[in-house]
Chain A
Amino acid sequence: MTEKNSPLWEVFIRSRNGLAHRHVGSVHAADATMALQAARDVYTRRGEGLSIWVVPSAAITASDPADKDMMFEPTASKIYRHPTFYEVPEEVGHM
């Protein structure tokens, strides 16, 4: 028997209102409805969440960790993006 693999979905859960959805793992399911049900059973057996997103894993475009220097290093030299770069006289108080 040659069975087709069922698609992979990434699961994101909002644990409570006020917090963003957070990646918790993945599930296999034939379609989005079943993926949501599987995610509920696998990842929220103890009140871990109020809301679930499932996203086809294949739909995610990710940066390559090997490119991390090219992607993120330039920000290290731009210290003028941080508030501490600027001098404010003490008499002015908190700003």
Chain B
Amino acid sequence: MYTQALNTRDQAAPSADSEQDARFQARVDAELKIEPNDWMPEAYRRTLTRQISQHAHSEIVGMLPEGNWITRAPTLKRKAALLAKVQDEGGHGLYLYSAAETLGTSREEMVDQLLSGKAKYSSIFNYPTLTWADIGIIGWLVDGAAIMNQIPLCRCSYGPYARAMIRICKEESFHQRQGYEIMLALCRGTPEQKQMAQEALNRWWWPVLMMFGPSDKDSQHTDTTTRWKIKRFTNDELRQKFVDATVPQGHYLGLTFPDPALRLNEKTGHWDYGEIDWSEFKRVIAGDGPCNRQRMKQRRAAHENGAWVREAALAYAEKRKARERAAYAEAAE
């Protein structure tokens, strides 16, 4: 999902203190939350720091494809809604950085990791938003997929992450409905508008399915993160849930999905879908998607162009403090 790149190998080092380890696991098994200053295995801290910060980076980079359409939204109402949505994404990024910082890594460090290319973010934000219909698709499908993944995270064993996810899930619900409403308006509009909606679905469907990460057959992280109750469902389970929930919504719009293998399996009651092109997934994660370079360039530019503001704010705060100290000193004389 927003942390797909976690599905790469990370050797969990055996902990030095197995008794502490066992006590920790017992707490997790009893569904007790782990809080920032509690003892935790180093690998748990490392995995969570990576997962939460990647999640945060995804929210921040996710502002770019949508920000692209703020000035061109078709009505004032749509523009206000999109602006609020993009602001929410920024907020989500900040809640998550704040949660990740409780594990002992500063936000500055995490941002550096993103800008240097060391840290990853979700592959989905490396696809371009070519038409207004793409904004509808992002709300309906990208945020819809995110919700599917994030609801179980509200019960994650790490307290600050779980609390941040509860806030985020509440807000994502607006995003998804906002997107679906855009799709509905297009599908009930002129044939050209409906065509635009269909083309957007055709372009985004497979990349959205990839958001859930590698197939369970190839995912290496599931065991430990499941044991630690960070992850509650496997990639494939969540992907299936998403497909089952989404296909009828698409049919209601009168749209078709770009997958000839998609059909309702009478026996299981689930929608069967075709094979995902994992080579594309790997390419985009590795940095070679349609917009990877542009996204990073924009993030770096935003960060660098904001440097003077951060410096000025700190200098001003310093000056005021110095002035206050001088005033106290004078009063004391």
Contact = CB atoms under 8 A, between A and B. Distances in A.
Interface stretch (B8-16, B90-98, B141-149, B234-242): B90-98
A30 B35 CA distance: 27
A32 to B, nearest CB: 9
A62 to B, nearest CB: 7
A36 B220 CA distance: 43
Interface stretch (B43-51, B184-192, B247-255, B306-314): B306-314
Contact of B98 (A4, A6, A27, A45): A27
Contacts of A66: 39
Interface residues of A, number: 22
Contact of B317 (A25, A26, A31): A31
Contacts of B39: 65-66
Q: How large, as a class, is the contact surface on chain B? A: 20 to 34
A6 B108 CA distance: 9
A67 to B, nearest CB: 10
Which among A5, A8, A29, A30 has the greatest number of chain B C-beta atoms within 10 A?
Answer: A30
Interface stretch (B72-80, B99-107, B281-289): B99-107
A64 interface: yes
A31 B316 contact: yes
B95 to A, nearest CB: 6
A87 interface: no
Given A3-B310, A28-B107, A45 B87 contact: yes
Contacts of B164: 25
B320 interface: yes
Given A3-B311, A65-B38, A41 B101 contact: no
A1 B308 CA distance: 11
20 contacts: A3-B307, A3-B311, A5-B106, A6-B313, A25-B98, A25-B99, A26-B98, A26-B101, A27-B98, A28-B107, A30-B313, A31-B313, A31-B316, A41-B87, A41-B91, A42-B91, A42-B95, A64-B37, A65-B38, A65-B39
